[in-house]
A and B are shown apart, each in its own frame.
Chain A
Amino acid sequence: MTKTEPKKRSKAPAGPKRYFDSSNQGDGDGELEPIKLKRKTQQNFLGDFIKMTQSKSKPKDKLKVKPPKKEKISPHLVEKYTRGDKVESRGVKTRHFKEQQQRKEVYLEYATEQAARTELLLTETPGQLEADEEETTASFRQGEIVANVDLQSAAKHFQLQLDFGPYTMSYTKNGRHLLLGGRRGHVAAFDWVTKKLHCEFNVMESISDVQWLHLPTMYAVAQKSWVYFYDHKGTELHCVKRLNNVNRLDFLPYHFLLAASNRTGYLSWLDVSLGELVGNFNTGLGDIRLMKHNPSNGVVCVGGGKGVVSMWSPKVREPLIKLLTHGTAMTALSVDPKGRHLVTAGLDKTVKVWDLRMLNDQPLALFHLRLPANQLDISQRGMLALSQGTYLEAYTDILSGGGTGDPTKLPYLRQRCDAFVHGLHYCPYEDVLGVSTAKGFVSLLIPGSGEPNFDALEDNPYETRKQRREHEVHALLEKIPAELITMDPQEIIGVDAPTLQEKIDAKRQLFHLKPTKIEMKSRRKMKGRGGTAKMARNKQIVKDLKRKEFISDIKKAKQNVIAQSRSKDAGDEASKFSSKTKQRSVLDRFKPKNQKKSQKS
Chain B
Amino acid sequence: MKVKMLSRNPDNYVRETKLQQHKVPRNYDPELHPLEGAREYVRALNATKLDRVFAKPFVCNLSGHRDGVSCFGKHPKMLSTLATGAYDGEVRIWDLANRCSSRNFVAHDGFVRGIAYARNGERFLTVGDDKTIKVWKSESPEVGEDEEPVNTILSRYILHGIAHNRKDNHFATCGEVCAIWDEKHNDPLKTLKWGVDTLHTISYNPVETNVLACCASDRSIILYDQREAQPLRKVVLTMKSNKLAWNPMEAFNFTVANEDCNLYTFDTRKLHTPLKVHFDHVSAVTDVDYSPTGKEFVTASYDKTIRIYQAHQSHSRDIYHTKRMQHVVCVSWSLDNRYIFSGSDEMNVRMWKANASEKLGVIRPRERANFNYQEALKAKYAAHPQIKRIARHRQVPRHVLNAQRKMRVVKEKDQIKEANVRKHSKKGTVPHVSEKKKHIIKEEV
Q: A123 and B28: CB pair below 8 A?
A: no
Judge whether A389 is part of the interface by a CB distance below 8 angstroms: no
Q: B37 and A492: CB pair below 8 A?
A: yes
Q: List 29 A-B contacts (CB under 8 A).
A: A80-B30, A121-B26, A123-B25, A127-B4, A127-B5, A129-B4, A131-B1, A132-B2, A149-B5, A150-B5, A254-B34, A254-B38, A296-B34, A297-B34, A298-B35, A339-B34, A431-B6, A447-B5, A447-B6, A450-B6, A454-B27, A455-B26, A457-B24, A457-B26, A460-B13, A477-B43, A480-B38, A484-B41, A493-B37
Judge whether A599 is part of the interface by a CB distance below 8 angstroms: no
Judge whether B427 is part of the interface by a CB distance below 8 angstroms: no
Judge whether A478 is part of the interface by a CB distance below 8 angstroms: yes
Interface residues of A in 486-542 (CB under 8 A from B): 489-493
Contacts of A124 in B (CB 8 A): 6, 8
Judge whether A145 is part of the interface by a CB distance below 8 angstroms: yes
- Give the number of A-B contacts (CB < 8 Å): 139
Q: For the complex, what is the distance from the CA of A118 to the CA of B28, rounded to whole Å?
A: 7
Q: For the complex, what is the distance from the CA of A372 to the CA of B41, rounded to whole Å?
A: 43
Q: A455 and B4: CB pair below 8 A?
A: no
Contacts of A144 in B (CB 8 A): 1
Q: For the complex, what is the distance from the CA of A149 to the CA of B23, rounded to whole Å?
A: 27
Contacts of B198 in A (CB 8 A): none
Q: For the complex, what is the distance from the CA of A466 to the CA of B35, rounded to whole Å?
A: 25
CB distance from B190 to the nearest CB of A (A): 41
CB distance from A381 to the nearest CB of B (A): 10
Q: A456 and B26: CB pair below 8 A?
A: yes
Complex partner residue of B25 from A81, A152, A338, A455, CB under 8 angstroms: A455
Judge whether A360 is part of the interface by a CB distance below 8 angstroms: no
Q: A150 and B7: CB pair below 8 A?
A: yes
Interface code A113-140, partner B: CB below 8 Å = 1, 0 otherwise? 0010010011111111111100100001
The residue of chain A having its C-beta at the shortest distance from the C-beta of B383 within the complex is A496
Contacts of B36 in A (CB 8 A): 83, 489
Judge whether A377 is part of the interface by a CB distance below 8 angstroms: no
Q: A478 and B14: CB pair below 8 A?
A: no
Count of A residues near B, CB < 8 Å?
65
Interface code A435-452, partner B: CB below 8 Å = 1, 0 otherwise? 000000000010110111
Interface code A447-483, partner B: CB below 8 Å = 1, 0 otherwise? 1101111111110111010110000000001111100
Judge whether B362 is part of the interface by a CB distance below 8 angstroms: no
Judge whether B445 is part of the interface by a CB distance below 8 angstroms: no
CB distance from A385 to the nearest CB of B (A): 16
Q: A83 and B30: CB pair below 8 A?
A: yes
Q: B42 and A479: CB pair below 8 A?
A: yes
Interface-centre pick from A339, A447, A450, A462 (highest chain B CB count, 10 A): A462
Q: B46 and A478: CB pair below 8 A?
A: yes
Judge whether A153 is part of the interface by a CB distance below 8 angstroms: yes
Judge whether A430 is part of the interface by a CB distance below 8 angstroms: yes
Judge whether A295 is part of the interface by a CB distance below 8 angstroms: yes
Q: B25 and A456: CB pair below 8 A?
A: yes
Contacts of A140 in B (CB 8 A): 1
Q: A456 and B24: CB pair below 8 A?
A: yes
CB distance from B346 to the nearest CB of A (A): 40
Complex partner residue of B35 from A156, A454, A456, A489, CB under 8 angstroms: A489
Judge whether A148 is part of the interface by a CB distance below 8 angstroms: yes
Q: A458 and B32: CB pair below 8 A?
A: yes
Q: B27 and A493: CB pair below 8 A?
A: no
Given contacts A123-B12, A477-B46, A489-B34, contact A128 B39 (CB under 8 A): no
Q: A489 and B8: CB pair below 8 A?
A: no
**Closest 5 A/B residue pairs (Cβ):** A153-B5, A130-B2, A493-B37, A462-B13, A455-B27
Q: B34 and A126: CB pair below 8 A?
A: no
Q: For the complex, what is the distance from the CA of A127 to the CA of B2, rounded to whole Å?
A: 10
Complex partner residue of B37 from A339, A457, A467, A490, CB under 8 angstroms: A490
Q: For the complex, what is the distance from the CA of A206 to the CA of B92, rounded to whole Å?
A: 83
Q: For the complex, what is the distance from the CA of A297 to the CA of B30, rounded to whole Å?
A: 14
Contacts of B37 in A (CB 8 A): 489-493
Judge whether B417 is part of the interface by a CB distance below 8 angstroms: no
Complex partner residue of A338 from B5, B31, B41, CB under 8 angstroms: B31
Q: A445 and B5: CB pair below 8 A?
A: yes
The residue of chain A having its C-beta at the shortest distance from the C-beta of B42 within the complex is A478
The residue of chain B having its C-beta at the shortest distance from the C-beta of A157 within the complex is B5
Complex partner residue of B3 from A121, A128, A338, A477, CB under 8 angstroms: A128
Q: B6 and A430: CB pair below 8 A?
A: yes
Q: B22 and A467: CB pair below 8 A?
A: yes
Q: For the complex, what is the distance from the CA of A331 to the CA of B393, rounded to whole Å?
A: 54
CB distance from B371 to the nearest CB of A (A): 16
Q: B3 and A453: CB pair below 8 A?
A: no
Contacts of B27 in A (CB 8 A): 118, 122, 453-455
Judge whether B29 is part of the interface by a CB distance below 8 angstroms: yes
CB distance from A330 to the nearest CB of B (A): 25
Judge whether B10 is part of the interface by a CB distance below 8 angstroms: yes
Contacts of A128 in B (CB 8 A): 2-4
Given contacts A129-B2, A152-B7, contact A254 B33 (CB under 8 A): no
Q: B25 and A489: CB pair below 8 A?
A: no
Complex partner residue of B39 from A132, A445, A450, A480, CB under 8 angstroms: A480
Q: A478 and B3: CB pair below 8 A?
A: no
Judge whether B260 is part of the interface by a CB distance below 8 angstroms: no
Contacts of A466 in B (CB 8 A): 22
Judge whether B197 is part of the interface by a CB distance below 8 angstroms: no
Seed contacts A130-B3, A455-B25; 19 additional CB < 8 Å A-B pairs: A81-B29, A118-B26, A123-B25, A124-B6, A124-B8, A127-B3, A132-B1, A152-B7, A254-B38, A296-B35, A338-B31, A448-B6, A450-B6, A456-B25, A458-B32, A477-B43, A484-B38, A490-B37, A493-B40
